[in-house]
Structure 1
Amino acid sequence: MKTVYERADIVPLLAEVFREFGYEGTSLSRITERTGMGKGSLYHFFPGGKEEMAAAVLADVDAWFEHAIYQPLRKGDAREAIAAMWVNVDEYFRSGGRICLVGAFALDETRARFSAAIGDYFLRWIDALRSALMRAGCPREEAQLFAEEAVAGIQGALVLSRALDDKRLFIRSLKALAKRLEAAMQ
């Protein structure tokens, strides 16, 4: 087990616990078991308990997406940014083997607790992708629809590939979505 010196060291460990059990199914005993940290250490870094831990995990996910997905889509070469999005999404979600924690939180009772962070994550993704599509020549209304379809398709492919235990389904879905967006930019 890695020695933990800072709060940021714990966040990736917490993320995997929340991914495995969801917010409601994640207890402090599961967190201590999976992270190897005692309750005192956890409360030292997260005095607000499980809710603060989940908020830190969501902020960490958000920061990754902001840097790797949203910013390039907003500011970079549109076609290159969209192509990079597919690669980064595949890597981040481990070709469909890793659930979307934000999406999982959106589906259970946690949604109300973290609704602002959850909604913002999806809206910013759609907005950034719409922006790139428009810069690539797609009319605004179509760009909005394609961006919504792409984000929904990614999320649906994650759920389906996990449900069927078939990573190839996720990979095929990403390729199909990429082709659809490529055609929209012609």
Structure 2
Amino acid sequence: MSAKRAPTERADAVPALAEAFREHGFEGASLSVLSQATGLGKGSLYNFFPGGKEEMMEAVLADIDAWFENVIFSTLEHANNPTAAVTSMIEDVTVYFRSGRRVCLVGCIGLNASGAAFAVRIRSYFARWISALAQCLETGGVSKLHASKLAEEVVSGIQGAIVLARALEDDAVFLRVVHRQHSILLEAISNHRA
């Protein structure tokens, strides 16, 4: 069995940092934990991230933002077929959160004391998701007010499903809740097109 290769570029370290922050939280992810997760010595970590843990977390959040921008937000905002866009969002989010097993790092950071340091980015992430979903629903004929309320409920439902599935140690909870959210969205589009 070969040894884990240390990243040779900053971007290569980001996925391992994300998983360490997911598992230990921002406060609990010591430099030793982050070093072990990435396979980089503390000196190399500081070489890639001179701003320390805060810069590491910023890089992780930027990576999450980029994924959501490219895969979720842009698809919803530019949807020609809202039904397909909503279905794609549900499928992609299900895979991203690994059917409820993977903590939403943005939500987790937002809930603890370190969240204040990243408040603008966290607020932007959730606001953008709600806005993009509402825009997609409006494209599907749902009224602006109803689309906004529904988007807020669905995003909070998905986030809540992640927490509940982990707390109950039952991935099926996540899948059931997300399936219900999907059905609610499709029904709203269908009712407004009828």
- TM-score under structure 2 normalisation? 0.94
2:117 is the alignment partner of 1:116:
no
Q: How far is 1:3 from its partner?
A: 4.0
For 1:11, the aligned partner's letter is: V
RMSD: 0.7
- Secondary structure of 1:4's counterpart equals coil
Which one of the candidate residues 135, 139, 142 is aligned to 2:143?
A: 139
Correspondence for 1:9 among 4, 7, 12: 12
Judge conservation of contact 2:7–2:39 (CA < 8 Å) in 1: no
Asked if 1:26 corresponds to 2:23, the answer is no
| One-letter amino acid matched to 1:36 | G
Of 23, 35, 60, 2:63 maps to 60
How far is the alpha carbon of 1:35 from its aligned partner? 1.8
SS at match of 2:103: coil
**Segment drifting more, 97-106 vs 29-38:** 29-38
Alpha-carbon contact 2:6-2:38 (below 8 Å) kept: no
Residues 38-53 of structure 1 correspond to what in structure 2 (within 5 A)? 38-53=41-56
Bigger Cα displacement from structure 2, 140-149 vs 26-35: 26-35
Is 1:84 the counterpart of 2:88? The answer is yes
* Structure 1 runs not aligned, ≥5 long: none
* CA–CA separation in structure 2 for the residues paired with 1:31 and 1:133: 41
Alpha-carbon shift at residue 2 of structure 1 (Å)? 3.1
| Letter of the structure 2 residue corresponding to residue 99 of structure 1 | V
Indicate conservation of the 8 Å contact 2:6/2:40, yes or no. Answer: no
Aligned to 2:186, the other structure's residue is in SS state helix
Deviation at 1:79, TM superposition (A): 1.4
- The corresponding residue for 1:96 is 100
> Which of 141, 154, 164 is matched with 1:160 structurally?
164
Q: Does 2-11 or 84-93 show the bigger shift?
A: 2-11
- What SS class does the counterpart of residue 138 from structure 1 fall into? coil
Question: Counterpart in 2 of 1:182?
Answer: 186
Q: CA deviation at 1:32?
A: 1.1
Equivalent-residue separation in structure 2 for 1:74 and 1:110 (angstroms):
31
Taking the aligned partners of 1:66 and 1:33, their CA distance within structure 2 comes to 30
Runs ≥4 residues deviating over 6 A: none
* Alpha-carbon distance in 2 for matches of 1:34, 1:54: 14
Q: Give, as a single letter, the amino acid of the residue that structure 2 aligns with 1:4.
A: P
Q: d(CA) in 1 for partners of 2:64 and 2:35?
A: 21
Partner of residue 69, structure 1 = 72
Structure 2: gaps of 5 or more residues: none
- 3-state SS of the aligned residue for 1:99? coil
Cα distance, 1:66–1:42 mapped onto 2, change above 3 Å: same
Q: CA deviation at 1:34?
A: 1.9
- Residue by residue over 1:4-62, the C-alpha shift from the partner in whole angstroms, topping out at 9 and shown as x without a partner, is 12100000000000000000111101111222210111001000000000000000000
Structure-1 separation of matches of 2:182 and 2:140: 14
2:134 corresponds in structure 1 to: 130
Q: Percent identity?
A: 50
Partner of 1:150: 154
